[in-house]
A and B are shown apart, each in its own frame.
Chain A
C-alpha cells in the first residue's frame, strides 16, 4: 500500500520504480484504443501472453495493453519496446511468428511492417513512418507506452511531477500567470483563453468552487477525448488537480458521455489509484491542498456538451442551456464559481507546468499556441488520431500525415469542427489549423473532428446529414434553433429528393443566418455552419440539384442516373456480380449496360469498377 505524503516521497518512489523496471526490458505494447479493440486487438494481446508463457518468456517480456497509438487505419498495432519496431494489422495468427523472429530472435517480420506508398519501401521503426514523423505528440506522447489502468506506468514516465511542483513550489497566482502566458485556449471548440477563465474563477466570490471536465464529446466521428480519457486518464486528473489548486476549488466532476463505458471505467480506476497514493483526496502529498473528483455520466444528449446544459445535467436537471450573461466562472454549477474545461485542455496543463510556459508558447501560431489533437477520418488513406502544432496546414495533415485521399480519388472538401463546423474546399487546403483562420473561412476548429470528403460526396447531403443530427439533438427550448433547424431540414430534404427549387435554396440560407444570429446557446449559434459553409463554397452543387435536377456526386438517388461509359468498360463483369438487383447485363467483350428500370442507385457497381466506367453524368 503506497501512500505518498510528500513530493520527495513521490520522487523516490518514481526512482525506485525506474530502478526496478530495467530500462531495456522488452515490452510488447499493444494498442488498446477503440479501433484496435474492435479489430481483435485484445485477442492479439492474449495470444502474446499465452505464447510467451508457453515459451517460458512470461517473466522476461512484458505484455502491455496501452492507450491509443493513433494509426487506427492499420490496427491492430503492436510496438516492440524498447527498440520501437512497429507491426501493423497484426492478427492473432501472426503472433507466433513475431515472437520467434523479433523477441526470441533479432529479425523483423517484413510483411507486417509499414510499407511506404510509391517506393514500397518497408519501414520498421514507428517514428520513421510519415504518419508519426509529421506529428508532434505532446498530449498523446505517453498514451502508446503506458497501461492506462496502471498508475505506476504513469508515474514512471514522469506523471504527477507537475502536480507536485505546482502545489509545493508555485503560488496559485503564478500558475494562472503561466497558463495565461502559455496562450493555452480551450480545446473543446470555443477556444476561450484558459488562463483568463481560471483568473475570473479565482477572483469570483463564492464557496465552494468547482472544476469540471467536459468529456461529453458528441461530434460524430470524433474520438480525441475518448482516447485521452481511455488511454491516459491520469493526465486529465493531474491537470484538474493543478487547476483546482490554482483556482481554489476542492471538488471536481468529470462529465463523461454515457456511450463511453471504457472511459468511465479507466477514469474510475485512475481516481481510486490516485486517492490510494495520496495524489488525490485529502491533503495531497501531505500538503494542505485537498481535492476530490467524481464522475458524472451523461445520458445520450449532444446538447449536454454545452457548458450550462452540462452543469444542469450534473445537478440532476434536464440538459437545457441558459443564456450566459452571467459567466459560469462567476455562477456555474450549484450557483458557485466553476471552471469547465475540455479533456484535452486539462491534459495540456501538466505539460505546461513541466516544460514551462515559454516552451509551450513557442509551439503553434501567433494566436493559437500548442498542439491540437485531430481525429482524421473519412475518405483519407491514413485514418487515425493525429496531433500537430497549431498553424499546421490542412494540406500537411491530410496529405503528409493522412497520405492523401483514399483510393487516390479527387479531394473535394474537409469538414472541421463536427456538426458545429463547416466544409472547406480544395482552395482552402493551405489554411493553417488555427482558431481564427478556420472561423474566418466559415468553419471552426471545433473539438478536433476532421472529415475528408472526395468527389463522390454530395455536399448538399452532408449539410442535410448534420442538420438532421442537430434537429434531433437540439434541446428545443428556443424558437430559433428548434423551429429554424426543423425547417432547414425540411428544405434540405426537399432539395436532396429532387423536389426543391431555387427559392428553397434562398430560403434555406435566410433561415440559416437567422438560426446563427438568434439562437440562445452555442449549439444553435453554430448549427447552421454545415449548411452555410456548403452554400458558400459549393453553391453550384445546390443549383445542380434544383435547376438541373441532378446530383453531380451521384449520391442523391432521385437525382442520379448511373450509366456505363462504353469507351471505358472492359466487360470484366465485376459490376454484374456486385449488383444486388441484377440490373446489369453484358457478356465478354461487350460493354455492359445498366437497366434503368431495375437500378436502385445503390452505387455498388461504381464502387467495384476498376476502370471508373460507371458514371453519373
Chain B
C-alpha cells in the first residue's frame, strides 16, 4: 500500500501501512505476550495480553497490538508502567478464571503476579475463551463445527446444542491451537474421541503398519479438497516417511527417530491399542 513512519519504543521505523503492530514489534525483537494470537488466523483481540500504549497527536490510549494497524503518526510503547499493570491484571483475571491452566500460571509468574486476588473458579475447566479453536475451525479448516454461544459470563465454546458434531472432521486442529490444553482428544481402538466436544469419529488404519492415524471424515475431507480423482494412500505419517526415506539413495532410516519426529500434540493422547 505505502510505507509510513512510526515510532516503537522510541525507535523510528518505516513499515508498510496497516501491518499489525504486534508483528512489527516482534520483528524488532520486542517481546510481547499473547494468548489468543495465531499467525495463521485473523487477529481477534480478546485476551488483552498484548496491549500497548498508543499515542497519536494529543490522544493516548491502550490498544491490543495484535489488531492495531500501523498508520501515519502512530507512536507505540510496549513496556510502560501502565502496560505492565494492565498485563498483570489481565493474566490475574485469567488465572482466577482457569486456575488449572498451567501455562496461565507460568505466564502470570513471568509477568510478576504472585497470586490472584479473586476467588478461583472451578467450573470452567481451562478455557480462557481465546477463540483459537473456533477461529481455526472456521477460518482455516472451513468446517465451522465450533462456535461461541451465549454472552458475558455465560459465554462458552460449543458445538450446536452441545451435542456430538456432524460437521467435525476430527482433524484435531482445535487441540493443536488451544493454549491451555482445555481441548483434548483421545485415540482408542481406532476411534478418535474429541472429548471436549462429545464427538467421536471412526479412524482410518494404515495399510502398512495397521495403526489408526486419521479419522475417516478427515481423510474424505482431504480427498475432496484435492479432487475426487486424486489417489490418496491410506498410509500413516510414519510409514510415509519411511517409504520416502527408502526411495532416497544413501539415506539411513532410523524408525525411532522418525516416530519421535512425528510428534503428536501433548493434548492428543494416543492409546496403546491403536
Contacts and interface: CB of A to CB of B under 8 A. Distances in A.
A479 B69 contact: no
A486 interface: yes
20 contacts: A320-B148, A323-B64, A325-B67, A471-B153, A474-B151, A474-B152, A475-B152, A476-B150, A476-B153, A479-B46, A479-B128, A482-B153, A482-B155, A483-B94, A483-B96, A483-B97, A484-B89, A487-B93, A517-B61, A518-B90
Contact of A487 (B96, B128, B148): B96
B86 interface: yes
Contact of A473 (B45, B68, B119, B152): B152
Interface in A390-414: none
B93 to A, nearest CB: 4
Given A517-B61, A518-B86, A323 B67 contact: yes
A474 B148 CA distance: 14
Nearest to B21: A325
Nearest to B66: A323
A486 B121 CA distance: 12
B129 interface: yes
B49 to A, nearest CB: 8
A518 B44 CA distance: 15
Interface of B: 44-48, 51, 61-64, 67-69, 71, 82, 85-86, 89-90, 93-94, 96-97, 117-119, 128-129, 131, 148, 150-155
A303 B131 CA distance: 19
B63 A323 contact: yes
A326 B119 CA distance: 38
B82 to A, nearest CB: 8
A479 B90 contact: yes
Contacts of A318: 148, 151
Interface residues of A, number: 32
Contact of B129 (A322, A476, A484, A514): A476
Contacts of B152: 471-476, 482, 485
A135 to B, nearest CB: 36
Contacts of A472: 151-153
B118 A487 contact: yes
A514 B151 contact: no
Contacts of B155: 475-477, 482
Contacts of A507: 117
Contacts of B86: 514, 517-518
A326 to B, nearest CB: 7
A480 interface: yes
Given A325-B63, A520-B48, A520-B64, 13 more contacts: A301-B151, A323-B68, A325-B67, A471-B152, A473-B152, A476-B152, A476-B153, A477-B44, A479-B48, A479-B128, A482-B155, A510-B89, A518-B62
A325 B153 contact: no
Interface string A480-508: 10111111001000000000000000010
A480 B64 CA distance: 11
By CB atoms of chain B within 10 A, which of A318, A476, A510 has the most? A476
A511 interface: yes
Contacts of B119: 490
Shortest beta-carbon contacts, A-B, top 6? A476-B155, A483-B93, A474-B152, A479-B48, A514-B89, A476-B152
B45 A323 contact: yes
A531 to B, nearest CB: 16
Given A323-B64, A476-B155, A511 B46 contact: no
Contacts of A483: 93-94, 96-97
Contact of B90 (A301, A476, A480): A480
Nearest to A520: B45
Interface in A298-320: 301, 303, 318, 320
Given A323-B45, A484-B93, A476 B61 contact: no
A480 B155 CA distance: 14
By CB atoms of chain A within 10 A, which of B69, B94, B155 has the most? B155
Nearest to B154: A476
Interface in A426-477: 471-477
A518 B48 contact: yes
Contacts of A323: 45, 63-64, 67-68
A198 B214 CA distance: 55
A486 B64 contact: no
B151 A476 contact: yes
Nearest to A472: B152
A559 B35 CA distance: 42
A125 B154 CA distance: 53
A478 B48 CA distance: 7
Contacts of A479: 46-48, 90, 93-94, 128-129
A474 to B, nearest CB: 4
Nearest to B51: A518
Contacts of B128: 479
A323 to B, nearest CB: 5
Nearest to A517: B62
Nearest to A510: B89
Interface in A510-566: 510-511, 514, 517-518, 520
A483 B150 CA distance: 15
Contacts of B118: 487, 490
A507 B118 CA distance: 10
By CB atoms of chain B within 10 A, which of A320, A472, A475, A480 has the most? A480
A44 B155 CA distance: 47
A318 B131 CA distance: 14
A300 to B, nearest CB: 10
A322 B45 CA distance: 8
A484 B129 CA distance: 14
A527 to B, nearest CB: 11
A207 to B, nearest CB: 21
A530 B97 CA distance: 24
A155 B67 CA distance: 49
B148 to A, nearest CB: 7
A472 B153 CA distance: 7
B89 A511 contact: yes
Contact of B69 (A301, A326, A474, A514): A326
Interface string A375-393: 0000000000000000000
Contact of B46 (A325, A471, A477, A490): A477
A478 B61 CA distance: 17
A525 B117 CA distance: 22
A482 B96 CA distance: 13
A275 B155 CA distance: 42
By CB atoms of chain B within 10 A, which of A303, A483, A484, A486 has the most? A483
B179 to A, nearest CB: 13
B54 to A, nearest CB: 10
A248 to B, nearest CB: 24
Given A472-B153, A487-B118, A478 B46 contact: yes
Contacts of B71: 325
Nearest to A483: B93
By CB atoms of chain A within 10 A, which of B61, B64, B89 has the most? B89
A513 B144 CA distance: 37
A480 B48 contact: yes
